[in-house]
Amino acid sequence: MVKLTGLKKIKTAVFISGTGSNLKNLIKFSKIKNSPMSIDLIFSNTSKAKGLRFSNQFNIKKYISSFKDPKITEAKILNLLNREAIKFICLAGFMKILSKNFIKKFNGKIINIHPSLLPKYKGLDTHKKAIQNKDEVAGCTVHYVTAKLDSGKVILQKEVKISKKDNPTSLAKKVLRQEHKLYPAAIKKIFN
Ligand code: GRF
């Protein structure tokens, strides 16, 4: 894993596709004096991602490119990451699947947050599945990204109790509150 050298913060890119509440939370975390990371680039595969507004708000470079031709898009992203000396990538609600080749180039330096207790419920609709299966707990996981979807080594997990009144929306809200604590904690665990 990447180790911090001296007092320099590790230059990080965050990849998003939507609201960006995890992105906002990671930006706040990055501003703390003892945070191991700085966020220097936001990438989105769509200009519609609400989270892109944090680029202006916090004066962080952004790059948008659709994944219509994934090979070309990934080559462009890799170029940019190189140019900006980015050493670490956090996926935060990023809805595209990165290629094996891309992941290999950033081997062990891409992490993701997923709204379930992996290996349970990989992919989409995690909260709906947990409720349908009458699970008593749901949760979230921060894990390394490998070529196999939602299957890399777990860094940290947090359980969230499911109440009888919960529906997928209320559960998603509860889990998201925990995600905002878990993601910074996982990053601290990696670098400190
Ligand atoms: C989060 O629940 C995250 O775990 C999942 O997508 C959602 C993104 O939320 N991968 P936000 O865009 O960070 O608000």
Predicted confidence (pLDDT) at residue 7 exceeds the cutoff of 70: no
| Residue among 58, 29, 23, 59 at smallest CA distance from 44 | 23
Q: Is 143 in the pocket of ligand 1 (CB under 6 A)?
A: no
Q: Give the percent of the chain with pLDDT over 70.
A: 96
Average pLDDT over residues 46-75: 97
Return the SS3 of 125: coil
Answer whether 126's CB lies under 8 Å from 146's CB. Answer: no
Torsion sign, CA atoms 156, 104, 98, 65: positive
On whether the CB atoms of residues 87 and 109 are closer than 8 A, the answer is yes
Model-level pTM? Answer: 0.95
State how far the Cα of 11 lies from the Cα of 140, in Å rounded to an integer.
Answer: 25
Provide the 10 A C-beta neighbour count for residue 154. Answer: 15
Residue 7 CA to ligand 1 centre (angstroms): 30
Q: Which helix (H) or strand (E) covers residue 44, if one does?
A: strand 37-44
Ligand 1 neighbour 184 (Cβ under 6 A): no
Ligand 1 atom nearest to 179, measured from its CA: 4
pLDDT one-digit tens code per residue, 135-181: 999 999 999 999 999 999 999 999 999 999 999 999 999 999 999 99
60 Cα–ligand 1 center, Å: 20
What's the chain's length in residues? 192
Q: What is the pLDDT of residue 192?
A: 80
- Ligand 1 mutation pick, 176, 177, 182, max ligand atoms within 8 A of CB: 176
Regarding the beta carbon of 14 and ligand 1, being less than 6 Å apart is answered: no
Ligand 1 pocket check for 150: Cβ under 6 Å: no
Mean pLDDT throughout 40-65? 98
